[in-house]
Structure 1
Amino acid sequence: MVRAEDAEHSTRRRILAATFVVLARDGRRKLQLSDVAAEAGVSRPTLYRHFGSKAGLLEAFGLYEQDNFDAGIAGAMAGLVGPDRLDAALRFIVEFQSTYSLGSLADVEPEHVLHQMKRVLPIMHERIARIIPGDDRAVAAAAVVRIAVCHYLIGGGSPAQFLSELRHAAGLDAGRGARAAVS
Structure 2
Amino acid sequence: MFDKSHFLGLLKEHGTDVELRKIFGYFPSSLDLHAKAVKVISSGSLDGSLYLRPRFSTSREEIVRLGSEWLRGQEEICGRIGDVEIEGICRRAKVVFAAENDLDSALQRDIPHHWLFDGIGDSLRASRISESDQVYALLEALYGLAADYYLAWYIGGSLFELDVDFGPYFEFWRMGGRCALTETEFLVSNQ
TM-score, normalising length from structure 2?
0.25
Larger radius of gyration: 1
TM-score, normalising length from structure 1?
0.26
More helix by share: 1
Q: Bigger relative contact order, structure 1 or 2, given CA contacts below 8 A and separation 6+?
A: 2
